[in-house]
């Protein structure tokens, strides 16, 4: 029995960690509920350490698109196509907050043309790398990021200035709306237990999505917008005083296909 019925309003995947993603009509999920092709590539700095949009906000202006045989990058009016199986083997380092030390991960360097595109866009000496399966799991342990459209509206209304592309800056994979075409109640995903897609996968909540500074980056300009994070912080504090800043949830579950317009039955935990 569903407590609420929703529809899939939008889908995104992010082929390169910390770069702009791509809106898609459908997502294929693996057995854990992870979008196929999600964060299979990453950006490292001159020291070979993992970089991110918080350190390089203009990475938001690098659009990544998956191809059957590799990856396409678009930035600064340049289009660059990269093969999925090319590149020199390298080791990269990524900070592990739990161990308070660096992890060493296997990757393959995407070459000088990709590095030149990243430098022209950000001004920094960065390189694009293709990640091993183990590195992908280490750097992106959560399967899928879900948010409701009512939560995006609450975020927009909490700001006195325009909020461009809220779903993209929130790095959502799955955006839900009400079945009748209206908006869901704000933050309904906070009490989501399970989402069952008609003729598709079943997704179960795994944790709240704790936010860093990335949602403050405007996807259209690549410039930080601190007020956006301040608004998220205020909204989160109202819902979960004393907890880290939260917006959206992570979910995982079974494999299958998600398509825009799919009917989704939601089971909710209203508490006692």
pLDDT tens digits, one per residue of 216-263: 999 999 999 999 999 999 999 999 999 999 999 999 988 899 999 999
The strand pairing partners of 177, in sequence order, are 7
Average pLDDT value for residue range 169-188: 94
State the pLDDT at residue 130: 96
| pLDDT band of 270, cuts 50, 70, 90 | confident
110/89 Cα distance (integer angstroms): 10
State the pLDDT at residue 1: 53
Half-sphere exposure of 170 (CA within 13 A, CB side): 32
State the pLDDT at residue 68: 87
89/145 Cα distance (integer angstroms): 30
pLDDT tens digits, one per residue of 49-94: 999 999 999 999 999 999 988 999 999 899 999 998 889 999 999 9
Average pLDDT value for residue range 125-139: 94
Pairing between β-strand 144-148 and β-strand 174-178 as defined by DSSP bridges: parallel
The single residue listed with the structure tokens 């860093």 is 212
State the pLDDT at residue 31: 87
| pLDDT band of 181, cuts 50, 70, 90 | confident
Inform me whether the pLDDT recorded for 124 exceeds 80. Answer: yes
State the pLDDT at residue 32: 85
Whether domain 4-36+142-268 has CATH 2.40.33.20? yes
State the pLDDT at residue 29: 94
| pLDDT band of 161, cuts 50, 70, 90 | confident
Mean pLDDT of the chain: 94
| pLDDT band of 162, cuts 50, 70, 90 | confident
State the pLDDT at residue 2: 66
Which of 69, 70, 71, 104 has the alpha carbon at shortest distance from 90? Answer: 104
Q: Which two tokens stand for residue 67?
A: 């191809």
Average pLDDT value for residue range 151-161: 94
Sign of torsion over alpha carbons 127, 55, 63, 209: positive
pLDDT tens digits, one per residue of 20-47: 999 999 999 998 889 999 999 999 999 9
Inform me whether the pLDDT recorded for 183 exceeds 80. Answer: yes
The single residue listed with the structure tokens 């949009």 is 53
Inform me whether the pLDDT recorded for 272 exceeds 70. Answer: no
* Residue 25, Cβ density class (10 Å: 0-12 exposed, 13-18 middle, ≥19 buried): exposed
Average pLDDT value for residue range 186-195: 96
Residue extent(s) of CATH 2.40.33.20 domains in the chain = 4-36+142-268
* Residue 202, Cβ density class (10 Å: 0-12 exposed, 13-18 middle, ≥19 buried): middle
């Amino acid at each position: 029995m569903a407590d609420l019925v929703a529809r899939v309003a939008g889908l995104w995947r992010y082929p390169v960690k910390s770069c702009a993603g791509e809106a898609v009509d459908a997502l294929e999920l693996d057995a854990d509920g992870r979008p196929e092709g999600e964060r299979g590539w990453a950006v490292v700095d001159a020291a070979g350490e993992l970089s991110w949009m918080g350190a390089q906000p203009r990475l938001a202006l690098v659009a990544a698109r998956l191809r059957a045989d590799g990856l396409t990058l678009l930035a600064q009016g340049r289009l660059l196509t990269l093969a999925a199986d090319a590149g020199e083997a390298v080791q990269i380092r990524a900070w592990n907050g739990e161990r308070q030390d660096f992890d060493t991960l296997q990757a393959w360097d995407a070459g000088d043309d990709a590095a030149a595109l990243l430098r022209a866009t950000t001004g920094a000496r960065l390189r694009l790398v293709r990640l091993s399966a183990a590195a992908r799991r280490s750097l992106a342990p959560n399967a899928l990021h879900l948010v409701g459209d009512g939560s995006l509206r609450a975020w927009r209304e909490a700001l006195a200035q325009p909020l461009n592309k809220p779903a993209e800056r929130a790095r959502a994979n799955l955006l839900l709306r009400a079945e009748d075409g209206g908006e869901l109640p704000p933050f309904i995903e906070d009490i989501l237990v399970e989402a069952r897609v008609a003729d598709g996968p079943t997704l179960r909540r795994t944790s709240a999505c704790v936010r860093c500074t990335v949602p403050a980056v405007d996807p259209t300009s690549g410039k930080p917008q601190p007020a956006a994070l301040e608004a998220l912080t205020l909204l989160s504090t109202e819902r979960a005083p004393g907890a880290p800043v939260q917006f959206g949830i992570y979910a995982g579950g079974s494999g299958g296909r998600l398509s825009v317009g799919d009917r989704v039955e939601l089971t909710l935990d209203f508490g006692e």
